[in-house]
Amino acid sequence: MAKIKPSKGAPYARIMGVGGYRPIRVVPNDVILETIDSSDEWIRSRSGIATRHWASDEETVTAMSLEASGKAMADAGVEPHQIGGVIVATVSHFQQTPAVATEIADRLGTIKPAAFDISAGCAGFGYALTVAKGMISDGSAEYVLVIGVERLSDLTDLEDRATAFLFGDGAGAVVVGPAQEPMIGPTVWGSEGDKSDTIKQTVPWTDYRDGTVERFPAIRQEGQAVFRWAVFEMAKVAQQALDAAGITADDLDVFIPHQANMRIIDSMVKTLKLPDHVTVARDVETTGNTSAASIPLAMERLLATGQAKSGDTALVIGFGAGLVYAATVVTLP
């Protein structure tokens, strides 16, 4: 029996650089209130969101990804020709095929990298990061570009009082490369498909195409069910990620949860009993819920504002439609 030659990959992987892009247009709650019966106070108390960014026609999924990726590669000191993989996490690129990752890879000037999209909702960045880590370790790429990008304004029903205020647009990217010590911990990830109806698209695209429905598909969710699941079940997953990395909450410097809702974030902090010294990302206040883009965008802002620093130990966790989730501990670039 022939033996397969061992891979020549690096023993470990790390995040080397991060970049973000938020659309120019800032949308305050007053704009949302033009189409739903609510109030700024109610929106802030329920979600913590004051503003969000909505993309223009020119700020496409590709365009936002290119902006974020350029910043991430510059931050990492990596040139396009060194990139061996491009992974894009998104649910709002409306061209089914080819993968938008292939267009992004070409326009960045990379040379024939592996390029593909991942559809894992708000956990997409964590899924993509885990795949990138594996590519580095098995030697199939030296550097991998991971992008989380969304134009959720295209999937928002502005007349739905439960969701109209939640979603925003943007792109975040990181470059993953080799390391000689563990700098991305084991991923705790999974799915609970029996709860898939709690967050979903209203109707299939084919219903809209065939004229079965007149309204363009949008995102719907059962707010209370999602809240309970996120607070109680995802706190357990976050703890499992800490355990898998061999650290405790006291060892953490930063907590970067998916920016879904400020109440969820605060409740998770309480459930996990995070010490006061841990910096908590609360980017949702001004960026809204950007699904797969929310973690890298929040990471970029923490580093840019000095709230977090290079070398900090951070717990990241994404969770959303599916229901799917992914959590890991990383060293910040």
pLDDT in tens, 67-83: 999 999 999 999 999 99
Q: Which of 310, 311, 313, 316 is nearest to 328 (CA)?
A: 316
- Please report which residue ranges of the chain form alpha helices under DSSP H: 29-32, 40-47, 61-76, 100-108, 124-138, 205-209, 223-228, 234-245, 262-272, 284-287, 294-304
Q: Give the best-scoring range by mean pLDDT among 93-97, 115-119, 227-231.
A: 115-119
Q: Which of 29, 53, 93, 122 is catalytic?
A: 122
Kindly state the percentage of the chain with pLDDT values over 70: 100
Cβ(103)–Cβ(130) under 8 Å? no
* Percentage of the chain lying above the pLDDT 90 cut: 88
Instruction: Give the span between the Cα atoms of 315 and 331, in whole angstroms.
Output: 9
Question: What's the predicted TM-score (pTM) here?
Answer: 0.96
Q: How do residues 278-290 score in pLDDT, each as one tens digit?
A: 999 999 999 999 9
Q: End-to-end alpha-carbon separation of the chain, Å?
A: 43
Least confident of 28-32, 173-177, 192-196, 247-251: 192-196
Report the distance separating Cα 14 and Cα 178, nearest Å.
6
Q: In 152-253, at which residue ranges do the beta strands (DSSP E only) sit?
A: 169-179, 188-191, 199-201, 219-221
**Mean pLDDT value of segment 40-69:** 97
Instruction: Specify whether domain 185-332 bears CATH 1.10.540.10.
Output: no
Q: What is the pLDDT of residue 294?
A: 98
User: Given this model, what pLDDT does residue 1 score?
Assistant: 81
Q: For the domain covering 12-181, report its CATH number.
A: 3.40.47.10
> What's the confidence (pLDDT) of residue 168?
98
The CA distance from 29 to 294, in Å, is 19
pLDDT at residue 309, as a whole number: 98
Least confident interval from 5-9, 69-73, 255-259: 5-9
Verify whether residue 53 is a known catalytic residue.
Answer: no
Alpha-carbon distance of 78 to 98, in angstroms, equals 26
Residues 6+ apart with CB under 8 A from 58: none
pLDDT at 7: 75
What's the pLDDT score for residue 208?
85
Domain 12-181 identical in fold to domain 185-332: yes
Residue 206 has pLDDT above 90, yes or no: no
Q: Encode pLDDT of 96-154 as tens digits.
A: 899 999 999 999 999 999 999 999 999 999 999 999 999 999 999 999 999 999 999 99
pLDDT at 214: 84
Q: What is the pLDDT of residues 169-188, one digit of tens each?
A: 999 999 999 999 999 999 99
Task: Mention every residue, 6+ apart, whose C-beta is less than 8 A from residue 203.
Answer: 212, 213, 217
Identify the band that residue 6 occupies on the pLDDT scale cut at 50, 70 and 90. Answer: confident
Q: Would you place residue 9 in the very low, low, confident or very high pLDDT band (cuts 50, 70, 90)?
A: confident
Cβ(259)–Cβ(287) below 8 Å: yes
Name the pLDDT band for 8 (thresholds 50, 70, 90): confident
Band of residue 201 on the pLDDT scale cut at 50, 70, 90: confident
**What is the average pLDDT score of the chain?**
95
pLDDT in tens, 275-320: 999 999 999 999 999 999 999 999 999 999 999 999 999 999 999 9
Sequence spans of domains, the chain: 12-181, 185-332
At position 83, the amino acid (one-letter code) is I
pLDDT value of residue 185 = 98
List Cβ neighbours of 52 (8 Å cut-off, separation of 6 or more): 26, 27, 167, 168, 169, 286, 287, 288
